[in-house]
Structure 1
Amino acid sequence: MSAARVDARAATFSAALGAELLQLVRSTVVRVATAVLVLVVPLLAVGFAAAAEHGGDSTLALKVRPMVPGTGWDAVTGLSGQVLAVAALLATGFVVSWSFGRELTDGTVEPLLMGRASRAELASAKLLAVVSWAVVACLASVAAALVLGAATSPGAGTPWPGAARAALGGVLVALTALPFGLVATWGRGALAGVGGVLGVVVVTQVVTLTGAGPWFPWAVPGLWLGMGGAGVTVSAVQLATAPLVAAAAWLATAWWWDRAELTGR
């Protein structure tokens, strides 16, 4: 392929990516998901950590204290990662389902396919836009937790490397949500993808209870962040299953969009 042709394809993909990012910015679904990750998650994490450390014998303190990993900054960053592990899967799953499903339910897929970008490029642009949003949202969530944590004077320890671990865990969880874009395409609507997300959340709980969680990609990041307790260990190989799921989902979605009949019912 000539350099001119490569430049042309890159420009076409950049235009498709820009359009998808603009759609995310304008979407109410994405705004709500962002608010959950950037506002609700830090408030819950820091609030629970503060209650456990400073709540004395209050009912809330007694309930949350067994869930809090350590004290001081360890509690703040640990809880941030654990809450984010749940919220990032749900939020990213809903967003990627909306991104793919709305094209089919709103009838916008046909004009979309008439553009210069190929079908595979369109699918990749959607996935890259969602991943970019998820990474920024996870980083902002942890940053907000650090700001709120500093305001509550957590005391002992340092926020590093716990904050980096929480952010990385959140991103890994978000990556495991990419298959739901394909589910939404198969189901011809966002609700199919949302149903898939909720189903995986339930299955994850069951798999974790059976002890097989370290080999289940959707459970691995949460267990790595401490949701399974101190007795559960996650190896680097097991942790790598999360990005592998994302890569497989990306290839499968691009392949399906390139070949499937998307305009009919």
Structure 2
Amino acid sequence: MFTFFALALPTPRTKISNAKFIVYILWAIGLAFSNLLIGFIIGLLLDLPISNEYFVLGHLSNYFMTTVLTILIGIPNAFFAVWQKGYLAPLGFVALTLVFSQIIAATGYGYYFPWSIPGLYSGAGGKYKLQLNELSYIILVLTGLVGYFSTIIYWKYTDHVK
């Protein structure tokens, strides 16, 4: 007889957490595209002039690179979410890093603080964008990787009884 026990095999926790990260990335990209579309619609409604298409393409590449940097720096929030099993810890962490990123960027050292780097890259900091270097991006990527691997390790080795 054919049995259906194969349908009840457990899914590894690593696959579950990787699936959650994929959903996070897809949602972030979808939100970036929707914000861009809303911005274009508002620009058309306000009849804002476009000087040339190269100007727009230059800003689009800046926009999408800022999106990638923001996605990378959002990864450590997942660790706080699974560690505290809720949304308050990552929300508090985001608020704390937002305050620190503003203060540290204003003092001129934002290019070493990973949560300031996407804002500086976007040009919101004005002249401070020129201070970004390879080390800034390495720090940002390492922070994202630490957040990813700490979340994976937590999911893999923690007893989830609740």
Give the structure-1-normalised TM-score: 0.52
Q: CA deviation at 1:241?
A: 3.4
Pairing 1:2-151 to 2, within 5 Å after superposition: 116-151=10-45
Q: CA deviation at 1:254?
A: 0.7
Q: For residues 86-106 of structure 1, what are the alpha-carbon distances to aligned partners after superposition, in whole Å with 9 as ceiling and x for unaligned?
A: xxxxxxxxxxxxxxxxxxxxx
Q: CA deviation at 1:212?
A: 1.0
Q: CA deviation at 1:138?
A: 0.7
Tell which deviates more after alignment, 232-241 or 120-129: 232-241
Q: Which amino acid aligns with 2:150?
A: A
Q: CA deviation at 1:229?
A: 1.3
Tell which deviates more after alignment, 114-123 or 159-168: 114-123
Change (3 A) 1:116 1:148: same
**Structure 2 unaligned blocks of 5 or more:** 1-7
Q: How many residues align?
A: 152
Fraction of identical pairs, as percent: 23
Alignment RMSD, CA only? 2.2
Q: For residues 120-141 of structure 1, what are the alpha-carbon distances to aligned partners after superposition, in whole Å with 9 as ceiling and x for unaligned?
A: 1111111111111101211221
Q: Which amino acid aligns with 1:195?
A: G
**Contact 1:169 1:224 survives alignment (8 Å):** yes
Out of 34, 44, 62, the residue aligned to residue 165 of structure 1 is: 62
**Structure 1 unaligned blocks of 5 or more:** 1-113
Pairing 1:155-234 to 2, within 5 Å after superposition: 155-158=49-52, 159-233=56-130, 234=132
Q: CA deviation at 1:201?
A: 0.8
Q: CA deviation at 1:208?
A: 1.0
Q: Which amino acid aligns with 2:70?
A: V
Q: Which amino acid aligns with 1:118?
A: P
**Contact 2:83 2:154 survives alignment (8 Å):** no
Name the structure 2 match of 1:20: none
**Contact 1:213 1:223 survives alignment (8 Å):** yes
Distance across 2 between alignment mates of 1:237 and 1:152: 41
Name the structure 2 match of 1:242: 140
**Contact 2:17 2:152 survives alignment (8 Å):** yes
Distance across 2 between alignment mates of 1:133 and 1:142: 14
Distance across 2 between alignment mates of 1:157 and 1:193: 41
**Contact 1:142 1:167 survives alignment (8 Å):** no
Q: For residues 128-156 of structure 1, what are the alpha-carbon distances to aligned partners after superposition, in whole Å with 9 as ceiling and x for unaligned?
A: 11111101211221132123223323225
Distance across 2 between alignment mates of 1:244 and 1:136: 24
Name the structure 1 match of 2:4: none
Q: For residues 34-77 of structure 1, what are the alpha-carbon distances to aligned partners after superposition, in whole Å with 9 as ceiling and x for unaligned?
A: xxxxxxxxxxxxxxxxxxxxxxxxxxxxxxxxxxxxxxxxxxxx
Distance across 2 between alignment mates of 1:231 and 1:260: 42
Q: CA deviation at 1:240?
A: 4.4
Tell which deviates more after alignment, 214-223 or 162-171: 162-171
- Whether 1:251 and 2:149 are equivalent positions in the alignment is yes
Q: CA deviation at 1:204?
A: 0.9
Q: Which amino acid aligns with 2:90?
A: G
Name the structure 2 match of 1:52: none
Hey, which bits of structure 1, 4+ residues long, moved more than 4 A? none
Give the structure-2-normalised TM-score: 0.81
Name the structure 2 match of 1:63: none
